[in-house]
Amino acid sequence: MNVLYNLSIFFYSILIKLASPFNLKARQIMKGRQRVFTELPHKIDHDRPIIWVHCASLGEFEQGRPLIEAIKNQYPSYQIFLTFFSPSGYEIRKNYELADYICYLPADTKKNAQHLIDLINPEIVFFVKYEFWFHYIKELKKRNIPLYIVSAIFRENQLFFKNSPWAKWYRKMLFQFEHFFVQDNQSVELLAGIGLKNVTKAGDTRFDRVAEIARNRKVIPLVGKFKNNHQLVVAGSTWKPDEELLIEFIHAHPEVKFIIAPHETKRGNIDRLKTLLKTPAVCYTEATGDEVIDNQVLIVDTIGLLSSIYQYADVAYIGGGFGVGIHNTLEAAIFGMPIVFGPNYLKFNEATAMVKLKVAFPVENYPQFKTILEPLLSDVEKRRGIALECTRFTDQNLGATQTIISKVFHHRNR
């Protein structure tokens, strides 16, 4: 099985190299990995201990971020070594100020694992959510460096819980972890079923993250002016199928204002969206003064504002549910409001929980969308009750970060 795994890593690396002249992400991964062992040796300071935090991409970073910030606040003598697998994480967070070192994770080979761990010599390692890399895990265990996984979710259909030879080989990796911090009871039970008891149900650190964002939210006068006395739907991280639903409703309800923050903010996509709209619309970067009031739609064509914009919403729509999966619902939920999204949400614990609580509403087509959204907008009391339940839900799920910190650092005095 080791040979098959090594071959898969080898061929994946070859594919990245072959694709790099034609694909930006492949090129970024290849060049980023090449720089790790040429640049880092001249930067690492071994006079202070290092904690390594690895995140696959941007979403996992948002789960790891509260942990990094808590470590920096409570144990400032530690340096943070932050790695990413994906360009969508690294390229956006490569200048994150609380990490002392940030780089791509080199391909999971025995040589790379030994080289990287020799280089940083971490005292503690955190992998976030779904990261399982055989050689890195094996090398950390060999050196008795404690490895924790945080905000993890395990499901019955995952390879770990099957009976094939490949699954049994894969499952052995789990026994190399020092401790599992998982999001739900099902994960606890699944791990117990294969003999793993070193598990704590801590919850999802993203609740702590969005609570911090809400406390430090920006006041955006332009958005307040745009909303004026109208009801406002904020649609975040939208894709084309989401926008098709929204635009049909927008055209039928000129009395309701909409803010659309598309997932892709490149000019071509913004122009496509503006072309589809047959109602007055303006881009955030082009909006000025009182003129913004005269538009029904405000298109957010820049990044970094969405989490604060949700505070102005009466209802939130979260994009991605007609593709691989919905984006971050918690950024909206923390402000207490009804949430609507597409049908692909079942892999997200917080979304399924909110649907059960009837504070979030999945839709599969425009008739469903219209049937759900119209009553939410017209019934103020219903909306207020949902908002209270939503706030209660988010409040009850705070504290995962401190649970992890207390467990990991209880015997450390740095």
The verdict on 192 and 275 lying in the same domain is: no
- Enter the pTM of the model: 0.85
Phi-psi region of 330 (alpha: psi -120 to 50; beta: other; left: phi over 0): alpha
Q: What angle do CA 288, 289, 295 make, to 5 degrees?
A: 75
Domain containing 335 — which CATH number? 3.40.50.2000
Residue 134 maps to which CATH number? 3.40.50.11720
Q: Count of domains in the chain?
A: 2
382-411: buried (b, 16+ CB within 10 Å) or exposed (e) per residue? ebeebbeebbebbeebbbbbbbbbeebbee
pLDDT for 290: 79
User: In this structure, what DSSP letter does residue 106 have?
Assistant: P
Q: How far apart are CA 272 and CA 107, in angstroms?
A: 38
Q: For the chain, what is the radius of gyration of the CA atoms?
A: 23
Name the residue type at position 392.
R
Summarised one tens digit per residue, pLDDT across range 20-62 is 888 888 899 989 898 999 988 889 998 999 999 999 998 899 9
Are residues 278 and 141 part of one domain? no
Residues 270, 365, single domain; the answer is yes
Q: Is 127 strand, coil or helix? A: strand
pLDDT tens, position by position, 326-344: 999 999 999 999 999 999 9
Do 199 and 223 lie in one domain? The reply is no
Q: In angstroms, rounded to a whole number, what is the distance separating the alpha carbons of residues 362 and 326?
A: 10
Residue 304 lies inside a defined structural domain of this protein: yes
Mean pLDDT of the chain: 93
Closest Cα partner for 199 from 181, 186, 185, 211?
181
214 lies in some domain: no
The letter for the amino acid at 224 is G
Nearest to 325 by CA among 343, 305, 309, 304: 343
Domain containing 303 equals: 219-396
Residue 297 lies in a domain: yes
In a domain, 213, yes or no: no
